[in-house]
Chains A and B, each alone.
Chain A
């Protein structure tokens, strides 16, 4: 188990402070966190909630791969990636990423890399629930 990396996939409220605390260390000059939140509309249409589901073992292993790549690519000191599953209300937090590095630039780049790659490769799906129906996000062109 890599002690520079923490991956959590949970059906409970994510602990943003714990994510930040995990990456703190005396060798770092900067920490960047990314917090994703559930927005109340999509293209002007009111969203009631988002339902997230994951192919859990693979979602965890793919998040770990991203974390390992980010540590390697940006010489991070530490990185934590938390993701939520289940039904989330407006304003709730589906994802938290924290990265620490000797200098802030690497931490900013690593956070962006991690969330962009997560959205491409991690087997997690969200369904938008509207007043008049539901749609799996990005499933069809």
Chain B
């Protein structure tokens, strides 16, 4: 990960190096319905992904962190109440919703 290094000299003349992550990550909030809420364990899941991450990146992140996702029959993602393709790019304030296989009716 690229870092910006800040060197501070404090009152005791010690040199302190603080590494801050470069501003390459965004924080996204994901709403989890149906079985995805059981897998993640909460309805609102907040995580950070690289800027300009796609839905495919999000799915990969979910499978890596919650292996049970790989057992679902399908997983679609909606951005702002519309189904989105795997190539769609996520933005920080989007409403991102996990849609496991639907079963209305």
**Residue positions of A touching B, CB distance < 8 A:** 36, 52-55, 57-59, 61, 83, 94-95, 115, 118-127, 136-141
Contact = CB atoms under 8 A, between A and B. Distances in A.
Interface of B: 31, 33-35, 38, 71-73, 78, 81-83, 97, 99-105
B24 to A, nearest CB: 30
A38 B31 CA distance: 27
A19 to B, nearest CB: 15
A126 B33 CA distance: 11
22 contacts: A52-B104, A55-B97, A55-B99, A58-B97, A118-B105, A122-B102, A123-B33, A123-B104, A124-B105, A125-B33, A125-B102, A125-B103, A125-B104, A126-B104, A136-B34, A136-B35, A136-B100, A138-B101, A138-B102, A138-B103, A139-B35, A139-B101
A36 B103 CA distance: 13
Given A136-B35, A136-B38, A138-B73, A124 B99 contact: no
B99 A123 contact: yes
Which 5 residue pairs of A and B lie closest in terms of their CB atoms, listed nearest first?
A124-B104, A125-B34, A137-B103, A136-B35, A58-B81
Contact of A119 (B33, B71, B99, B105): B105
